[in-house]
Amino acid sequence: MASIQKPVGTKDLLPDEAKFWQKFRETAFEIFGRYGYVPIETPVFEQTDLFVRGIGQATDVVSKEMFTAISGENLKTLLGGGHIKSKSRLSLRPEGTAGVVRAVAENGLITQGGAPVKLSYAGPMFRAERPQDGRQRQFNQVGIECLGAGEPTIDAEGIIMLMRFFEAIGIPADAMRLLVNSMGCEKCRPAYREKVRAFILEHADALCEECQRRADTNPLRAFDCKKEGCHAVMAEAPRIVDNLCEECHEHYDAVKGLLDATGVSYQEDYTLVRGLDYYTRTVFEVQVIEGMGAQNAIGGGGRYDKLMAEIGGNPAPGFGFALGYERCKIALEANGFKLEPAMAYDFYIACVDDSVRPLAFNVLQTLRDAGFRGDLDHQHRSLKSQFKQAGKLGASRVVVLGPDEVAQGMAKVRDMASHEEVNVPLDQVAAAFAE
């Protein structure tokens, strides 16, 4: 029978990598915790409407890339030509923000007059994109969301926190580029959108068909087009920075001022619009400067002051970002990073013959209960191959149990690095390890 393989665009995180992903998340949560962020877990699927309303129907993520999940009974109904309630239309989350914002609204986490709600998350996201290096259909993100505060200090500390995290996991500061922009707000953006729409229509001949279509659906996305020709044309389009209202200008200047004061370097990029509809004011992206081709964005985010109301909650300003684990790993590897073995054993027990096995099993348990990681040979191998096995598992000590030692109530403990051996009373092996 043909073997079944993983779905296209997915990856198995084998133990060494799964362990690294765990450490990656823990490092993020530890750093984000210093800024007041606490973890939240939301479902990996939500009502499709949440993403349609939150992220926007006209975005690629919603219009082309969502995996929609249909449960058994509903699938039958749909296949039979029937309708299912919109509540039953479910999609795998393509990003984390919409779900977290929904959870904040649904659970009333924002309290009147209270501090802003600061949440962090980590987990898989799903987008039906064309897979390539650094672009998967299931990938892992770590992100944060801050709800209930519109001040520029929230944006600035978020950006600083993200840069500090990248450096903490080992991506050198000079290997990254931080791009910032402002998307304006509902006061200044509509007029700006109109200007860009008019610009696209004026230059339609020089733009691709998709950009021409964007004039009606989502003009600002034309800035995102990867085609050289479109990019060159759009570089001449009206700039958002010249079209911000006074409040948005002040906010943008304040964010930049805070970054300057902290010594975080950035570049302003007036074409940075990011793919999702919900952003207002600050948007930013962190790219790796060399070696990652088109998939060089390792993280990004921005402010979304209208999203809460969009999904039916009490209006509240928001700010967030997400970073991609897989792309960070590629960036780390470009800087010489190698995965470490998932398990470095503290000890391995080698049995000289089968008569000592019952006792060995007890010693094993005692050592594990004392907090040490280890194992014994479960397969009745020869003493020589037990030592080989201990080496392969990276055990730093081997506890040798033979009938002679055991008869004297002793075990032999060999240090695998120095090859030194000492005899230790059986009930003091754990204490000897701790020395």
Q: Is there a contact between 312 and 220 (Cβ–Cβ < 8 Å)? A: no
Residues 231-290 that bind ligand AMP (CB under 6 A): 275
- Shortest Å distance, C-beta 137 to ligand AMP: 7
DSSP of 241-310: GGS--HHHHHHHHHHHHHHHHHT---EE-TT---S-TT-EEEEEEEEESSS-TT--EEEEEEE-TTHHHH
Question: According to the binding rule CB under 6 A, does residue 300 interact with ligand AMP?
Answer: yes
- Cβ proximity to ligand AMP: between 254 and 297 the closer is 297
Pairing, β 45-47 against β 410-415: unpaired
Structural tokens at position 56: 């926007």
- Rule CB under 6 A: choose which of 180, 188, 298, 413 binds ligand AMP: 298
Q: How many residues bind ligand AMP (CB under 6 A)?
A: 18
- From candidates 158, 318, 324, 374, binder to ligand AMP by CB under 6 A: 324
Q: Which residues contact 302 (CB under 8 A, 6 or more apart)?
A: 155, 183, 274, 279, 280, 281, 282, 283, 284, 319, 320, 321
Q: Assess 326 for contact with ligand AMP (CB under 6 A).
A: yes
Separation between Cα atoms, residue 121 and residue 333, nearest integer Å:
24
For ligand AMP, the closer CB: 173 or 294: 294
Question: Which stretches does DSSP call E strand in 68-196?
Answer: 68-69, 90-92, 117-126, 138-147, 176-182
CB closer to ligand AMP out of 60 and 405: 60
| Nearer CB in complex with ligand AMP: 166/372 | 166
Strand partners, 118: 146
Task: Indicate the residue among 269 and 346 with the shorter CB distance to ligand AMP.
Answer: 269
Stretch that binds ligand AMP, among 116-124, 126-134, 388-396, 423-431 (CB under 6 A): 126-134
Residue pair 364/351 in contact (Cβ under 8 Å)? The answer is no
Which residues in 77-116 contact ligand AMP (CB under 6 A)? Answer: 95
59 in contact with ligand AMP (CB under 6 A): no
For the chain, the distance separating the N- and C-terminal CA atoms, rounded to the nearest angstrom, is 54
Verify binding: residue 299, ligand AMP, rule CB under 6 A.
yes
- Is 297 a binding residue for ligand AMP by CB under 6 A? The answer is yes
Residues near 403 by Cβ (< 8 Å), separated by ≥ 6?
Answer: 352, 353, 355, 356
Binding to ligand AMP (CB under 6 A) within 132-161 occurs at: 134-136, 139, 141
- In the numeric block, which tokens belong to residue 20? 């690294």
Q: Candidates 127, 203, 214, 251: give the one binding ligand AMP (CB under 6 A).
A: 127
The residue from 322, 363, 367, 424 that contacts ligand AMP (CB under 6 A) is 322
**Which position's Cβ is nearest ligand AMP?**
324
* Closer by beta carbon to ligand AMP, 61 or else 351: 61
By the rule CB under 6 A, 169 interacts with ligand AMP: no
Calculate the alpha carbon distances from 371 to 107, 316, 361, 368 in Å: 39, 47, 16, 5
What residue ranges bind ligand AMP (CB under 6 A)?
95, 127, 129, 134-136, 139, 141, 275, 297-300, 322-324, 326-327
